[in-house]
């Protein structure tokens, strides 16, 4: 009993230290977002005082210099519709390749698994050329590109579908449901925990993604990461105060979304890995 309690306390201390380590960069950015830009480099880890505190000046400058409102709109549009497409189509794909046992579906499943280990940098040049040729270098087209990189979601949904009793679907077929009706009326509601997990993971990825939007749509449709990058200016000139403020504004939506749905993450991930 004593050994178990000691182990639990040790795990708690280790996790607490890790949490502090991960929170320090965020707290540092938040703290410096209220300091004058000339004081950030000199005293980055010191709390603002009467001399360094500038109130909301950095936030106002950041909003003005980056066109944050427009960038926020493009990021929101791309993230929402990309995540919706990923959740819908990858869940349907996972259901099909799990229930239809053929050589084709088995090969398809392993192709999705293989896509998870291929670095993006390996395909980004050919992907960019292909996207330009197919006129996918726009906010609508990039949604299709993100869907193509959603192999992990197929893997996640496949593991969860395997845990669903087949009798439920057979009962729906006996009652006269078509395969599409069976999926949307019976299977998809059961997939709610893993759907929310996939939505959270893909939202954090797409919202924070810099490289893919920069390669495809960066010059005309700036998302938040691209807009922040333009604060660097030329010849190493960086408005650190405005950058810190805009980083805080960029982090807030994803943190709110995460804490709203966090209870589903572990449940969905564990369920999806049971038989995956």
Domain boundaries of the chain, sorted by first residue: 56-273
Q: Are 78 and 223 in contact (CB under 8 A)?
A: yes
What's the first-to-final CA gap in the chain, in angstroms?
A: 35
pLDDT score recorded for residue 266: 61
Residues in the chain: 276
CB 146 within 8 A of CB 86: yes
Percent of the chain residues past pLDDT 70, beyond the cut: 92
Give tens-digit pLDDT for 198-217.
998 899 899 999 989 998 88
> How far is the C-alpha of 238 from the C-alpha of 225, rounded, in Å?
15
pLDDT band at 274 (very low <50, low <70, confident <90, very high): very low
* The Cα angle at residue 130 between residues 203 and 155, in degrees rounded to 5: 40
State the pLDDT at residue 267. Answer: 61
Give the span between the Cα atoms of 131 and 122, in whole angstroms. Answer: 15
Integer Cα distance of 222 and 66 in angstroms? 9
- Report the share of the chain in percent with pLDDT over 90: 25
Cα gap 94→275, rounded to integer Å: 13
Determine whether 180 is exposed, middle or buried from the number of CB atoms within 10 Å of its CB (0-12, 13-18, 19+): exposed
Task: Answer yes or no: CATH 3.10.110.10 is held by domain 56-273.
Answer: no
The pair phi, psi for residue 53, each rounded to 5°, is -75, 130
pLDDT tens-place string over residues 101-112: 899 999 999 888
Q: Is the pLDDT of residue 272 over 60?
A: no
Per-residue pLDDT at 276 exceeds 50: no
């Amino acid at each position: 009993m004593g050994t178990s309690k000691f182990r639990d306390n040790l795990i708690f201390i280790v996790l607490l230290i890790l949490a502090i380590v991960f929170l320090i960069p965020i707290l540092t950015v938040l703290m410096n977002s209220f300091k004058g830009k000339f004081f950030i480099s000199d005293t980055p880890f010191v709390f603002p005082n009467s001399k360094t505190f500038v109130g909301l000046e950095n936030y106002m400058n950041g909003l003005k210099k980056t066109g944050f409102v427009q960038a926020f709109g493009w990021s929101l549009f791309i993230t929402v519709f990309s995540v919706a497409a990923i959740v819908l189509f990858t869940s349907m794909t996972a259901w099909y390749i799990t229930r239809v046992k053929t050589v084709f579906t088995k090969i398809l499943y392993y192709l999705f698994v293989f896509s998870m280990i291929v670095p993006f940098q390996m395909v980004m040049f050919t992907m960019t050329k292909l996207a330009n040729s197919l006129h996918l270098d726009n906010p609508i087209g990039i949604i299709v590109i993100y869907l193509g990189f959603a192999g992990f979601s197929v893997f996640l949904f496949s593991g969860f579908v395997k845990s669903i009793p087949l009798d439920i679907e057979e009962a729906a077929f006996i009652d006269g449901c078509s395969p599409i009706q069976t999926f949307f009326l019976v299977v998809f509601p059961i997939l709610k925990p893993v759907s929310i997990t996939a939505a959270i993971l893909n939202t954090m990825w797409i919202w924070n993604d810099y490289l893919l939007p920069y390669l495809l749509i960066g010059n005309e449709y700036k998302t938040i990461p691209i807009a922040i990058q333009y604060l660097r200016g030329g010849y190493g000139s960086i408005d650190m105060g405005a950058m810190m403020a805009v980083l805080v504004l960029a982090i807030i939506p994803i943190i709110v979304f995460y804490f709203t749905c966090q209870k589903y993450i572990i449940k969905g991930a564990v369920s999806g890995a049971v038989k995956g």
